[in-house]
Amino acid sequence: MARHEGRVLTAYGGPMPETSTTVPSPRLHVVDHPLVQHKLTQMRRVETPSERFRQLLSETSLLLTYEITRELALQQVEIQTPLTTTSAPELVDDPVVVSILRAGNGLLDGVLRVVPGARVGFVGLYRDHDTLEAVEYYCKFPPMEGRTVIVVDPMLATGNSAAAALDRVKAENPEAIRFLCLLAAPEGVASLHSAHPDVDIWTGAVDECLNEVGYIVPGLGDAGDRIYGTT
């Protein structure tokens, strides 16, 4: 089993298979914290209602955010405590968060609870059900040049929507980009790494595969529908 930073990279239900699309990469970070895995299991359950699903997703995104922000740059500043003056670390800049609509907003709440000073951008994309390609219908960004950008979308399935969103983000000349998702398929990881080899991926799990219509298996269904109660 391949290891990264002391953690075993796993696919759903066992070790990550060593295939051409799933060979572990130093740019793939699987967050195997017990609380992340427990909450993810509850979200996978077909009987979990939308209200509970949203709560679990918000809680899980908060935990994932701690991991993806681990290496944000710090600077030393002089502060006054109740007892004395001292030098202490604080963030150089808050990251910018970009949500891939609509399902990305399910992760956004937890991210902003951890970094409330972050500015937020949005890319509206839907997946053409015939071609599985991403179609853009909306884009609005805050200034991102020279900043760290965290792009969020619960599912990394084919990777087409994520790659299209990262194309748009890179055009704004950020210093660094990180991609955060709840679940990934091996095909999506390989596709995103091929299109954007400089972007690290953080996820709660890498599942088995995509089915014939591009859904992650075993997965949790359509994340947007599960969040908002649509069909």
* Catalytic residue, candidates 225, 226, 230, 231: 225
Active site residue 102: no
- Which of the following is catalytic: 131, 198, 200, 230? 131
Tell me whether residue 225 is one of the annotated catalytic residues: yes
222 is catalytic: yes
Q: What angle do CA 111, 29, 169 make, to 5 degrees?
A: 55
Query: Token pair for residue 225?
Result: 């529908």
Catalytic residue among 127, 158, 168, 231: 127
Q: Of 93, 109, 167, 222, which residue is the catalytic one? A: 222
Q: Residues 159-163: contacts with CB within 8 Å, 24+ apart?
A: 159/187, 159/188, 159/189, 159/190, 159/191, 159/192, 159/195, 160/127, 160/132, 160/133, 160/134, 160/191, 161/100, 161/125, 161/127, 161/134, 162/100, 162/188, 162/192, 163/134, 163/191, 163/192, 163/195, 163/196
- Amino acid, res. 143: P
Active site residue 131: yes
Q: Write out the H or E segment, with its range, that includes residue 180.
A: strand 176-180
Catalogue the active-site residues: 127, 131, 222, 225
